[in-house]
């Protein structure tokens, strides 16, 4: 088929009639499909079942202390060593938490709001606090800053990272800008990895606000789809050290999409100053996180090599799903000039850009026919996508047959809504 | 020996000389003893080792959903049912969390501070916020309210609970009073259990502040020392329902001193209104807590009967320790009129009252001779015990021979410091 925009009205009307017939037929199937959330599927969860055999009643849990008892606020040394290898840092920069890196991020924002960082004024005492939000981005990040009444400023995310001219302009001049949300490798939802130059420029920011922090959510650090074709974001901790700018960074990661989401281990890496500041707060909040589950993970993986081998099994399950969706998009939408999409090498998402003003209708049409996508707009602060064009596709969770059904339906809805939009214009 | 106060100076000086000789000898032993924190001992932790065998790679973790995956913000139904039995309530009043009830309490105070309860003004926007603190009480409670700059007002804790005249006077008239910390059964450190009348009066409070809450930390709910001689605090949730005052209560409990501290499961019980309000906040904070560990606990205990049988094993380990300390106190201090102490039927502590102005010196003397006690003053807000008389004794953690050594040393230090004080006066 030729591009919709190059068809004359009669030709496009005919196409639309056919699409509508097809859509009606699909609706009659009463499908129930879901491509909304970045959840591992059943087979991926099965990959980690042996994690549950690592510790049992015969295990020795008395290491540097009795790990069954209270204590060790910042996590066990063994877990620090594993995360230190993952993040290419050392134990003293790490705090190991419970099961949720999102909860760590929430707590960091909450701490900025209630107590402030390193002696700076708590944000609740300020008239205005702002965060920069590379877009499209992760809805749960935006939900945290919105929850605390923080003004969110969208910054375009390009293939090499956020628009750094804009980031520098804001951060270096506006002392109400206290943070930026980043998913630096295989970004959510675009799958982009920040370039070395981007990381360098982040490390060399000269923030107007002493309590400005980069919230570096390295969620997909080891989540490659291919063995030989991988992207690796530069080490931001080292870059910040070299730039004498250590306190600027909070780096987050977890095993949520490595072992069991909700039953994994999460970590924060930052400067020694920040770590001390955080622990002063944490010592009031809790006596410590689940050391047995930390040990369970360490004994299961042993080291980074073990983690990488494990992640290959995930890749073998995820890769065919990404490829299936991308093939359907290419086959059914290629050349029509009604959408573009990313082809990520890792992470959990494909980002789709429709014609302006079509995303909400596409998602609604999918839903009406039985396929749930992430809400259109969710990838923007306040759910407000100014072009109404971005849609996040999450291929991981559905089984392959459901996934291909959903992808076909999605492609159909893109064509349907785009044809209507062009005819109306 | 007769009461110190009834001895003449010469007689008491002679006693003091002997005590000082004994103390010098003990110091030469370079002891390293610790009666500071309410931690289970090694044998108590061993009681729960089979918890680690309950789930393994062959287990079915797909129940109402796949418990290995993301989801279920308020905890799995099976865990709610277990805690509902413990707290004599039902599933819809419960939220099941991660490993730390202290963290739940912290988060509730933090939420009051940042967002407010049920639409009321966030505390950070108010000039003055106060909490009532029954004393002696739990230092970690006081640390939370102090951390948020909340003014703490001590209220005497009697054998039947806090001085309710004073509680009613404050709560029903001062709208800056937003909460009260309670350990209603086997209180920390006194071991007192609130009477039915006290519970009734709590449930019938008519707070001046709509967002006043009772922080009911039922930490020792099933932590009895004796089979046939137990105390059971009345059900505050039911009492509040009957008083049409449901929203007034947050009840906390956990398995920290049931299975493994730090690797257990914690829960909050409250009204349906409060639960909805909390979940609105939690949905921004996390995707959910560790469902696998929740299931592990449920499958291990099955029900309240399983829990009770398990707690009997703890009692059999703890009871001889409490009895050993109490016997030493009675043998060595009985009749001297230089101190009184509680004889709890459950919980983790014995509360000791020295002569006025002696607690700090007693704790310091113990430390100098190698026995760590909880800091004197810790049982009061801001560490400020106005009479400098309360000392918390935690008999659980040391092995029996170390415990008896520490208790002897403690009794010696009480005599030494008291004799000096009387001679100086």
What digits encode the pLDDT tens for the residues B240-285?
999 999 999 999 999 999 999 999 999 999 999 999 999 999 999 9
Considering only CB atoms, which chain B residues are within 8 Å of A260?
A: 68-69, 292
Q: Do A261 and B70 touch (CB under 8 A)?
A: yes
Q: What angle do CA B298, B303, B307 make, to 5 degrees?
A: 90
pLDDT at B64: 87
Residue A18 pLDDT class (50, 70, 90 cuts): very high
Binary contact (A290, B39; C-beta < 8 A):
no
Alpha-carbon dihedral sign for residues B119, B120, B126, B131: negative
| Per-residue pLDDT tens over the stretch B297-310 | 999 999 999 999 99
Phi-psi category of A244—alpha, beta or left, where left has phi over 0 and alpha has psi -120 to 50? left
pLDDT digits (tens, 9 = 90+) for A327-364: 999 999 999 999 999 999 999 999 999 999 999 999 99
Chain A: residue whose CA lies nearest to B58 = A49
How many residues does this entry show for chain A?
Answer: 425
Q: Which of B45, B69, B140 sits opposite A39 (nearest CB)?
A: B69
pLDDT at A82 over 90: yes
A219, A257 contact by CB (below 8 A): yes
pLDDT at B346: 98
As given in the structure block, the two tokens for residue B302 are: 């099955």
DSSP structure class, residue A53: G
B380 pLDDT tier (thresholds 50, 70, 90): very high
Q: In this model, does residue B1 exceed pLDDT 90?
A: no
Contact by Cβ (8 Å): A351, A319: no
Q: Is the dihedral of CA B91, B97, B102, B108 positive or negative?
A: negative
Beta carbons of B68 and A59 less than 8 Å apart: no
Interchain pair B98, A98: CB under 8 A: yes
CA dist A408 and B415 (Å) reads 85
Interface residue of B284, B293, B300 to substitute, partner A, most A CBs within 10 Å: B284
To the nearest whole percent, how much of chain A has pLDDT over 70? 100
Which residues are CB-contacts of A362 (< 8 A; sequence separation ≥ 6)?
Answer: A354, A376, A391, A410, A413, A414, A417
CA distance A83 to A101: 13
Q: Which of A101, A263, A280, A282 is best to mutate for the B interface (most B CBs within 10 A)?
A: A263
Which residues in B lie closer than 8 A to residue A289 (C-beta atoms)? Answer: 99-100, 262
Backbone conformation region of residue B269, classed left if phi is above 0, alpha if psi is from -120 to 50, else beta = beta
- Mapped onto helix, strand or coil, the DSSP state of residue B82 is helix
Cα–Cα–Cα angle for B123, B128, B134, rounded to 5 degrees: 90
Q: Which candidate, A251, A54, A122, A148, places its Cα nearest to that of B55?
A: A54
SS3 of A109, please? helix
Residue B57: which of A53, A140, A292 has the nearest Cβ? Answer: A53
The alpha-carbon gap from B291 to the nearest alpha carbon of chain A, in Å, equals 7
- The yes-or-no verdict on residue A95 having pLDDT over 90 is yes
- Residue A217: φ, ψ to 5°: -90, 90
CB contact under 8 A, B286 and A103: yes
Cβ-defined contact of B68 to A262 (cutoff 8 Å): yes
* Residue A424, min C-alpha distance to chain B (Å): 39
Buried b / exposed e over A211-228, threshold 16 CB at 10 Å, is bbbbbbbbbbbbbbbeee
In this prediction, residue A123 carries a pLDDT of: 98
What is the pLDDT at residue B425?
87
A52 → closest Cβ in B59, B71, B291? B59
Reported confidence tier of residue B203, pLDDT bands at 50, 70, 90: very high
pLDDT computed for residue A425 by the predictor: 87
**Which strands, in side-by-side order, build the sheet including A390-393?**
A339-341, A350-354, A390-393
Measure the CA–CA gap between A330 and B205, rounded to whole angstroms. 67
pLDDT mean across residues, chain B: 97
Residues of A in contact with B288 (CB under 8 A): 100, 262
Using a CB-CB cut-off of 8 Å, the residues of chain B touching A127 are none
The answer to whether residues B243 and B367 touch, using CB atoms and an 8 Å cutoff, is no
Could you tell me which residue, A425 or B183, shows the higher pLDDT?
B183
Ranges of H-type helices in A346-399: 359-368
pLDDT in tens, B126-169: 999 999 999 999 999 999 999 999 999 999 999 999 999 999 99
Closest-approach residue (CA) in chain A for B265: A290
Average pLDDT over residues A284-293: 97
**Which of chain A's residues have a Cβ under 8 Å away from the Cβ of B110?**
110, 114
Collapse the DSSP code of A239 into the 3-class scheme (helix H, G, I; strand E, B; otherwise coil) and give the result.
Answer: helix
Residue in A with minimal Cα distance to B145: A284
Residue A91 is predicted with a pLDDT of: 98
Q: Report how far residue A328's alpha carbon sits from residue A345's, in angstroms, rounded to the nearest whole number.
A: 17
How far is the C-alpha of B2 from the C-alpha of A103, rounded, in Å? 60
pLDDT value of residue B248: 98
Question: Of B385, B395, B393, B396, nearest to B413 (Cα)?
Answer: B393
Q: How far is CA A88 from the centre of its chain?
A: 20
Q: Which residues does A374 contact at the CB level (< 8 Å), separation at least 6?
A: A35, A36, A37, A139, A189, A363, A391, A392, A394
| Residue A1 pLDDT | 82
Report H helices in B174-209.
Answer: 196-203
Per-residue pLDDT band at A411 (split at 50, 70, 90):
very high
pLDDT score, position A348: 97
Q: Cis peptide leading into B189, omega within 30 of 0? A: yes
For residue A83, CA distances in Å to A269, A421, B167 come to 9, 49, 49
Question: Nearest-CA distance from A40 to chain B in Å?
Answer: 7
* Interface contact A68-B291, CB threshold 8 A: no
Mean pLDDT of A213-222: 98
Query: How far apart (Å, rounded) are the C-alpha atoms in residues B165 and B215?
Result: 18
Report the pLDDT averaged over residues B95-124. Answer: 98
Q: CB neighbours of B175 closer than 8 A, spacing ≥ 6?
A: B207, B208, B209
**Alpha-carbon separation of residue B111 from A356, B277, B285 (angstroms):** 40, 10, 11
Average pLDDT over residues B45-62: 97
Run of H or E residues at B23: helix B9-27
Separation between Cα atoms, residue A391 and residue A394, nearest integer Å: 10
């Amino acid at each position: 088929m030729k591009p919709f925009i190059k068809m004359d009205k009669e030709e496009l009307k005919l196409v639309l009639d056919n699409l509508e017939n097809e859509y009606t037929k699909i609706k009659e199937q009463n499908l129930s499909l879901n491509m909304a959330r970045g959840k591992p599927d059943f087979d991926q969860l099965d990959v980690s079942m042996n994690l549950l055999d690592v510790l049992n009643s015969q295990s020795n849990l008395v290491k540097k202390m009795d790990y069954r008892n209270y204590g060790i606020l910042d996590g066990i040394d063994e877990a620090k060593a594993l995360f230190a290898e993952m993040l290419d840092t050392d134990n003293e920069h790490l705090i190991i938490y419970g099961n949720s890196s999102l909860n760590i991020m929430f707590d960091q924002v909450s701490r900025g709001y209630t107590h402030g960082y390193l002696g700076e004024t708590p944000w609740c005492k300020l008239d205005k606090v702002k965060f920069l939000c590379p877009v499209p981005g992760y809805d749960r990040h935006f939900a945290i800053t919105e929850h605390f009444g923080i003004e969110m400023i969208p910054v375009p995310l390009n293939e090499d990272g956020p628009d750094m001219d804009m980031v520098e302009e804001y951060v270096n001049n506006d002392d109400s800008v206290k943070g930026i949300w980043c998913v630096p490798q295989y970004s959510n939802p675009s799958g982009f990895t920040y370039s070395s130059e981007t990381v360098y420029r982040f490390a060399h920011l000269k923030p107007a606000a002493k309590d400005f922090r980069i919230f570096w959510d390295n969620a997909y650090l080891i989540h490659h789809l291919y063995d030989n074709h991988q992207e690796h974001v530069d080490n931001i901790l080292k870059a910040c050290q070299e730039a004498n700018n250590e306190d600027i960074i909070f780096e987050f990661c977890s095993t949520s999409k490595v072992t069991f989401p909700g039953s994994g281990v999460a970590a924060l890496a930052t400067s020694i100053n920040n770590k001390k500041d955080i622990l002063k707060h944490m010592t009031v909040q809790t006596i410590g996180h689940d050391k047995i589950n930390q040990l369970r993970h360490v004994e299961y993986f042993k080291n980074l090599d073990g983690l990488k081998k494990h992640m290959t099994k995930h890749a073998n399950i995820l890769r065919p799903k990404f490829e299936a969706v991308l093939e359907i998009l290419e086959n059914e939408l290629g050349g029509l000039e009604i959408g573009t999409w990313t082809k990520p090498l890792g992470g959990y998402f494909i980002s789709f850009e429709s014609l302006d003003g079509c995303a909400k209708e596409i998602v609604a049409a999918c839903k009406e026919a039985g396929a749930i996508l992430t809400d259109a707009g969710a990838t923007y602060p306040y759910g407000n996508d100014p072009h109404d064009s971005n849609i996040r596709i999450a291929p991981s969770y559905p089984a392959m047959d459901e996934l291909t059904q959903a992808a076909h339906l999605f492609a159909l809805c893109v064509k349907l809504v785009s044809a209507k939009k062009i005819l109306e214009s």
